[in-house]
């Protein structure tokens, strides 16, 4: 069978840790076109799940029959950890497929909302979507759709299906780059997950400078291990006395007893990148100032999340970020406004509960004291919670009337945090309110969860759980 006809796709991501399962897609107004390229001559599975699990998920299984070269594709639903049932309504459209000596490739389309409420999930254009994937070594026996062997590989991945593709700005001669990389971190071969933090100091500057964007710099050998990267501004009075001595240190396990206490004040995120992301750039008229004397930060902490599910030995990584900056100042300074529920020991989440926390950024304290009379323009945001977080909504109120929701993710995943660019800049005026609503799920916990210490250690707790 001939290869698929060329079709440019707007997005591409490796679903597994070994580069054997590649997903490409293009979101449209009514539907999405998908392509999967997998290192197997058997079947391919991809599904949409509310929590990353099999039960209740919406599954698509396809492949190329070895005997007849016939391409097959079926729309299914999963009732548990068993072979998914075939839907009564087939709501995926096969657009082509082929198989060679090593790989199977399929192209198909699927509507955002198939109107099949019983057996399909509606795909969100705004929320995190959890994809589940699998593949097997053999096709269904005798073309029986239920005679599918147990998958040889499987996993899950959280993504934004409808995120616009990165548009790189024109790189003029005045734009410089600053690379910050992990100091050849050696991944333990007895742990599946590692969070590593390292402190950095900005380049020497001669005058005020603007950061305009970033791209990830991932080692080709370690694409399967680098899960996400966060870059935080560090803010303490007379910061040099706290942070300068740590710049030449290789780093420490994040939020562990070995991490210096001062690093916990590195908590204003400037960059949030997750696997599959291409980077992010500010609008052409906006830049983030560098240096405390210019209203920015002089010291930054980079948090690297590594995965090593196969416990590979000898993995050493120096991945990181390339930050772009310029002395040709943009029209406006950008800053970071953090709004939400303050993390303190007084925030107590009882066990076995679906909980709801609300943080109100009220007009006077939040805006009037610090914002200009003309207000501020919001062009992007990062939704952030901890391990108990399940959904986040940022609301906007003016003159006692609620305006359109600013940001929302009803399927939040702690392990997937990326900058969300607003389609239209939001004007926040003096007198406005911003209300952050966080849905939390403690049903799996037998003890109360306290803010501050316990929530700051969510990352290390996840690391410890993975090593158990």
Sequential DSSP letters for 60-78: EEEEE-TTT--EEEEEEE-
Output phi, psi for 393, to 5 deg. Answer: -135, 135
The residues annotated as belonging to the active site are 195, 384
> What's the confidence (pLDDT) of residue 379?
92
Q: Single out the residue of 293, 377, 274, 277 nearest to residue 332, CA to CA.
A: 377
Identify the helix (H) or strand (E) that includes residue 455: helix 453-456
Angle CA 17–26–304, to nearest 5: 35
Tell me how long the chain is: 468
Q: Single out the residue of 166, 157, 156 nearest to residue 419, CA to CA.
A: 166
Question: Model's pTM, two decimal places?
Answer: 0.81
d(Cα 81, Cα 60) in Å, to the nearest integer?
15
Query: Domain 11-159: which CATH class?
Result: mainly beta
> What's the confidence (pLDDT) of residue 369?
67
> What's the confidence (pLDDT) of residue 19?
81
Asked if 175-335 and 348-449 have one fold, the answer is yes
Domain ranges of the chain: 11-159, 175-335, 348-449
Where does 348-449 sit in CATH, by number?
2.60.120.230
Query: Domain 175-335: which CATH class?
Result: mainly beta
C-alpha 37: how far from chain center: 22
d(Cα 127, Cα 115) in Å, to the nearest integer?
19
Sequential DSSP letters for 248-295: TS--EETTSTTS-GGGGGEEEEEEEEETT---EE--TTEEEEBSGGGT
pLDDT, one tens digit for every residue, the chain (468 residues): 557 888 989 998 888 867 899 999 999 999 999 999 999 999 999 999 988 888 999 999 999 998 888 999 999 999 988 899 999 999 999 999 999 999 999 999 999 999 998 899 999 998 999 999 999 999 988 778 888 887 878 889 888 999 887 777 788 889 999 999 999 999 999 988 899 999 999 999 989 999 999 999 998 888 888 988 999 999 999 999 999 999 999 999 998 888 899 998 998 889 988 876 788 999 999 999 999 999 999 999 999 999 888 899 999 999 999 999 999 999 999 988 888 887 777 788 899 999 999 999 886 677 666 677 888 899 999 888 888 899 999 999 999 999 999 999 999 988 787 888 898 899 998 889 999 999 999 999 999 888 764 444 454 443 333 333
Around 344, how many Cα atoms within 13 Å sit in the side-chain half-sphere? 5
């Amino acid at each position: 069978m001939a290869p698929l006809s060329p079709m440019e796709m707007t997005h591409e991501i490796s679903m597994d840790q070994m580069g054997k399962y590649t997903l490409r897609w293009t979101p449209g107004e009514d539907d999405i076109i998908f392509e999967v390229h997998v290192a197997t001559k058997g079947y391919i599975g991809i599904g949409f799940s509310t929590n990353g699990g099999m039960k209740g998920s919406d599954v698509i299984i396809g492949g190329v029959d070895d005997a007849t070269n016939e391409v097959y594709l079926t729309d299914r639903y999963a009732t548990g950890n068993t072979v998914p049932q075939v839907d009564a309504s087939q709501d995926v459209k096969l657009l082509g497929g082929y198989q060679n000596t090593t790989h199977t490739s399929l192209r198909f389309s699927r509507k955002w909302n198939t109107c099949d409420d019983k057996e399909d999930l509606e795909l969100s254009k705004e929320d995190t979507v959890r994809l589940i994937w699998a593949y097997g070594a053999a096709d269904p026996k005798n073309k029986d759709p239920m005679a599918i062997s147990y998958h040889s590989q499987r996993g899950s991945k959280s993504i934004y299906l409808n995120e616009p593709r990165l548009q790189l700005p024109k790189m003029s001669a005045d734009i410089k780059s600053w690379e910050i990389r992990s100091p050849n971190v050696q991944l333990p071969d007895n742990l599946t997950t590692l969070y590593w933090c390292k402190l950095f100091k900005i380049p020497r500057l001669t005058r005020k400078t603007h950061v305009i964007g970033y791209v990830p710099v991932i080692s080709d050998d370690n694409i399967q291990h680098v899960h996400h990267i966060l870059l935080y501004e560090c803010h303490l009075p007379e910061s040099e006395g706290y942070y300068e001595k740590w710049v030449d240190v290789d780093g420490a396990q994040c939020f562990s007893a070995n991490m210096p206490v001062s690093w916990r004040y590195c908590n204003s995120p400037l960059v949030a990148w997750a696997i599959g992301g291409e980077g992010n750039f500010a609008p052409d008229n906006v830049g983030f100032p560098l240096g405390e004397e210019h209203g920015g930060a002089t010291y930054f902490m980079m948090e690297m999340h590594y995965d090593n599910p196969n416990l590979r030995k000898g993995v050493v990584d120096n991945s990181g970020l390339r930050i772009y900056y310029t002395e040709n100042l943009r029209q406006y300074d950008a800053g970071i406004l953090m709004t939400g529920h303050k993390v303190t020991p007084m925030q107590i989440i009882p066990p076995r509960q679906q909980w709801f926390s609300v943080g109100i950024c009220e007009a006077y304290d939040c805006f009037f004291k610090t914002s200009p009379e003309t207000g501020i323009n919001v062009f992007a945001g990062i939704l952030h919670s901890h391990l108990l977080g399940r959904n986040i909504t940022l609301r906007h109120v003016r003159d006692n009337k609620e305006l359109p929701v600013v940001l929302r993710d009803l399927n939040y995943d702690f392990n997937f945090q990326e900058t969300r660019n607003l389609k239209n800049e939001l004007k926040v005026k003096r007198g406005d309110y911003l209300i952050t609503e966080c849905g939390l799920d403690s049903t799996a916990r037998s003890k109360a969860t306290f803010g501050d210490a316990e929530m700051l250690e969510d990352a290390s707790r996840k690391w410890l759980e993975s090593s158990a």
